[in-house]
Amino acid sequence: MSTYTDITFTSDDGLTLHARDYAGAGGPARLPVICIHGLTRNASDFDELAPRIAATGRRVLALDVRGRGESQRDPNPDNYAPSVYAGDVVRLASDLGIARAVFIGTSMGGLITMTVAARRIDLVAAAILNDIGPVISEKGLARIAGYTGKVACVGSWEDAAGYVRGINACAFPDNDAAEWDKWARRAFAPDPAGRLAPRYDPNIAIALQTGKLRPTSLSLRMAFRKLARERPVMLVRGALSDLLEERQAAWMRRAAPAMTYVEVPNVGHAPMLTEPAALDAILRFLAAVP
């Protein structure tokens, strides 16, 4: 597995944010890839996918969205919103001199990708949306709201793995104990007291609790249509997903007939993108992008 460089940058409102920078393996110049994780996740979710893409010659940047991972927590919870996150992504690209990139957005990361496209379509060369769209299921949204921001610190890695398994087993029935342990070490880190705490600010849950994050909006539907009309787009869906159910995926496919679609069997929300069906489709999709 290739290594990465930790980089930091400053948001427009002064937060110190973090990303992992995977250098491309060389060869002909290719557009970089920007990977954006889901609501309670962080850049480490891409620590298997990113090296596979970097091996094809592309630079890959995996962002810790504000309030997650190594990025600073925001003292104003109102800023935990896709519009603000999108501004952070634009700032990262600007600071690194990136004029165009391919975006891979998992769940919330896909909402951020669509928001970036609505503002700066010139920055988005192509997009892969992972188990997310402008119309999502109230059922899945309610399930995520049921655990986000509510986990207490845990005393051992075994407990952390048990917690992660408890909220994700319905979506990943094939995961074994080693996989749950790996996920736990991505999701938790020791706090100053030596206990294991989630690697995100609990205040990210406020948007869910107050209803600010809704199943759909006119602006998101317009953003998706604009993105799919003007750029190559691929949708990855977990066959067991309760956030992007078959009917929401069908709406997206009707709205964007040219969109590439792949379904990952026996996986729910959201695929890790290293599953053979997802990875093969991603590499084929990227091969057709400059």
pLDDT digits (tens, 9 = 90+) for 167-198: 999 999 999 999 999 999 999 999 888 899 99
Q: What is the pLDDT of residue 26?
A: 79
Q: What is the pLDDT of residue 27?
A: 77
60-64/16-22 β-pairing: antiparallel
For residue 59, pLDDT beyond 80: yes
Closest Cα partner for 62 from 95, 1, 106?
A: 106
Per-residue tokens: 192: 């100053």
Q: Which of 5-9, 22-26, 59-63 bottoms out in mean pLDDT, i.e. has the lowest?
A: 22-26
Q: In the chain, what percentage of residues exceed pLDDT 70? A: 99
For residue 88, pLDDT beyond 90: yes
Residue 253 CA: distances (Å) to CA of 5, 99, 229: 37, 29, 12
Instruction: Report angle CA 88, 53, 271 to the nearest 5 degrees.
Output: 75
List the 5-10 sheet strands across, edge first.
5-10, 16-22, 60-64, 33-36, 101-106, 124-130, 233-238, 260-264
Q: What is the pLDDT of residue 209?
A: 81
Average pLDDT score over residue span 263-289: 98
Alpha carbon of residue 150 to chain centroid:
21
pLDDT bucket at 1, cuts 50 / 70 / 90:
very low
Alpha helices for the chain (secondary structure H): 49-54, 82-95, 108-119, 138-147, 157-168, 177-187, 206-209, 218-230, 246-255, 276-287
Per-residue tokens: 126: 């192509």
Instruction: Tell me the average pLDDT of the chain.
Output: 95
Per-residue tokens: 175: 């995961």
Burial of 36 (0-12, 13-18, 19+ CB in 10 A): buried
